[in-house]
Chain A
């Protein structure tokens, strides 16, 4: 016969001596990449999380300093490899802004459609992987079924299924595949008929809800202070969609809603991403039949030279605000280039939202931050 209350009281009084430090990663199935977390535990309660980065650090910023303005765009696909078109778009926009290149309308429309397809593909992968982290394996196959259609479209359009390179300064590398519109429409039909399955499988799943609701709560003030953007901040009620605030390309001509939830927990972050996929479909539907005819690339010089000065451009990737900052000395290569990656700021909030919670909840908090490690390490 033992007294249960006494045993619990003993563990809580362990103090500094009772601390247990465990290493999560670099090779951990739920970090989806090589992220090393040093987690300090007291019993099952997390006291502190310390991320150790750099396992896939390639110093892309240094590499870009010796690449020309045409070359460096291809490296950016290797940062956030799930948003490669959008990363390329951010860099292309900066060069077009700096050199005052007028992009043809056809290119603008195609760029937006590809960006939104990329966003859906990224959220699909996240949805499957996130549910798998929490122990539900089936949604992974459902999500990949739709994602596969997008990767097929990408393969037809630009020859690659991952790390796509299609957007160049001035427009696009080459014109669209003739079957592009047909395939995108087939995807939209498929997606719309299947999206309810996610609701049944994941959203309305009571186990999923009880594992994510109230877990990893982030307040609006903290989200802004930590520099969180994208679905992470929008789930906390912060309006931060670059597509709405600083519209680029044709985002000011299409109708879509910025998805905002106010709960700030893991479930809200999940809801924001699922709703965002539907908004992306809405954008594509408005554009797919109206792609104007004409040139797909503006005439530019072979060697691009940015004028002396500083330039900044930002786009909304699947993870949040992606910024490119270039300091030019007037030559053919940048003097300094800085990528403001959304994942880096979103990771910095992990200790704040997960400390004090249970180790079992860490996967829910971390999974809904949607971390892509090459984007963080750069």
Chain B
């Protein structure tokens, strides 16, 4: 599918989506509330995006941006779905019932950025200690003991 066709298809699923074609792949920015239905449609619909290869989050100091890299093992076309979430109360719905790899990846984002994933079956810290305070990959994280900046 060309980028124009993908845009048309996604606009029919999420009318409020905005697009950015400057990078290597088509970037689609959606509202956090519209993310889950769009993702489910991408997985089961005609694009058959069955391979979620990267889930991460970026701290832009004003907001957090969730980034989902999607691809398909059939046509191998990659797209990037993004959703901005509020930095003070970051909440977004989980996608781990669509792609099971998301369960661990979202747990990592949860502990590193503090994003809460609703309906996640097992949202606990994965890498950090259970009593760890703060979200280390946020830009304003300070560690009183270990040096983290040069």
- A residues adjacent to B (C-beta < 8 A): 52-54, 57, 59, 61-63, 66-67, 222, 224-227, 229, 238-240, 245, 309-312, 321, 323, 325, 327, 335-336, 338, 340, 344-345, 347-348, 352, 377
- Decide if A67 touches B100 in the complex (CB within 8 Å): no
Q: A59-B136, A311-B24, A348-B100 are in contact. Are A224 and B50 (CB under 8 A)?
A: yes
Expressed in whole angstroms, the minimum distance between the Cβ of A33 and any Cβ of chain B is: 14
The 5 closest A-B pairs by CB, nearest first: A227-B101, A54-B127, A348-B104, A338-B56, A340-B54
The docked-state distance in angstroms from the alpha carbon of A347 to that of B108 is 14
Q: How far is it, in angstroms, between the C-alpha of A54 and the C-alpha of B125 when the chains are bound?
A: 10
What would 10 more interface pairs be, CB under 8 Å, given A225-B100, A336-B56, A347-B104? Answer: A57-B127, A62-B136, A62-B141, A62-B148, A66-B149, A227-B105, A312-B54, A338-B56, A344-B104, A377-B127
A59–B148 CB distance below 8 A = yes
Contacts of A67 in B (CB 8 A): 150
A240's nearest neighbour on chain B, judged by CB, is B73
Alpha-carbon gap, A54 to B50, bound state (A): 29
Partner of B137, one of A62, A321, A323, A327: A62
Give which listed residue, B73, B80, B150, contacts A66 with CB less than 8 A.
B150
Is A227 in contact with B52, judged by CB distance below 8 angstroms?
yes
Given contacts A54-B126, A344-B104, A348-B104, contact A310 B59 (CB under 8 A): no
**B19 adjacent to chain A (CB < 8 Å):** no
Chain B positions within 8 Å of A311 at CB level: 23-24
Please indicate the chain B residues that have their CB under 8 angstroms from the CB of A62 in the complex. 136-137, 141, 148
| B22 contacts partner chain A, Cβ-Cβ < 8 Å | yes
Q: In chain A, what residue has the closest Cβ to B101?
A: A227
- With a cutoff of 8 Å between Cβ atoms, the chain A residues found around residue B129 in the complex are 54
Interface string of B112-150 (1 = CB under 8 A from A): 000000000000001111000000110001000000111
A362 CB to closest chain B CB (Å) equals 19
Complex Cα–Cα for A345 and B73 (A): 16
A61-B137, A323-B54 as given contacts; A227 in contact with B99, CB under 8 Å? yes
Q: Does B46 contact A (CB under 8 A)?
A: no
Give me the interface of B with A, judged by CB distance under 8 Å: 22-25, 27, 50-54, 56, 58-59, 67, 69, 73, 76, 80, 99-101, 103-105, 108, 126-129, 136-137, 141, 148-150
Residue of B at shortest CB range from A245? Answer: B76
Contact B24 A53 (CB under 8 A): no
- Which of B59, B69, B73 sits near A224, CB closer than 8 Å? B73
Q: How far is the CB of B43 from chain A (nearest CB, A)?
A: 10
Q: Which residue of A lies closest to B59 (CB)?
A: A336
Shortest Cβ distance from B51 into A: residue: A224
Given known pairs A63-B148, A66-B148, A310-B23, the reply for A325 and B69 (CB within 8 Å) is: yes
A309 CA to B20 CA in the complex, in Å?
A: 11
Q: Is the CB of A340 within 8 A of B53?
A: yes
List residues of chain B with CB within 8 A of the CB of A66: 148-150
Closest residue of chain A to B43 (Cβ to Cβ) is: A225
B residues in contact with A321, CB < 8 Å: 53
Q: Inside 8 A of A63's CB, which chain B residues have their CB?
A: 148
Task: Return chain B residues, CB-CB under 8 Å to A225.
Answer: 50, 99-101
B75 to chain A, nearest CB (A): 11
Q: CA A163 – CA B101 in complex, angstroms?
A: 28
Contact (Cβ within 8 A) B24 A312: yes
A residues less than 8 Å from B99 (CB atoms): 225, 227
Chain B CB within 10 Å — which of A227, A321, A347 has the most? A227
* Minimum C-beta distance from A371 to chain B (A): 13
A residues within 8 A CB of B105? 227, 344
Q: Which of A52, A227, A310 contacts B51 (CB 8 A)?
A: A227
Chain A residue with the shortest CB-CB distance to B112 = A61
Query: Could you list 13 examples of A-B contacts with CB < 8 Å?
Result: A54-B127, A54-B129, A57-B128, A59-B148, A225-B99, A227-B105, A309-B22, A321-B53, A325-B56, A336-B137, A340-B53, A344-B105, A348-B103
Q: Which chain A residues lie closer than 8 Å to B149 at the CB level?
A: 66
- B150 neighbours in A (Cβ, 8 Å): 66-67
Q: Give every chain B residue within 8 A of A238 (Cβ-Cβ).
A: 73
Q: Which residues of B contact A327 (CB under 8 A)?
A: 58
Chain B residue contacts of A54, Cβ below 8 A: 126-129
Does A53 contact B148, Cβ atoms closer than 8 Å?
no
B72 to chain A, nearest CB (A): 9
**Complex formed: what's the CA distance from A311 to B148 in Å?**
24
Q: Are A227 and B53 in contact (CB under 8 A)?
A: yes
CB distance from B82 to the nearest CB of A (A): 10
Q: Output the nearest chain A residue to B99 by Cβ-Cβ distance.
A: A225
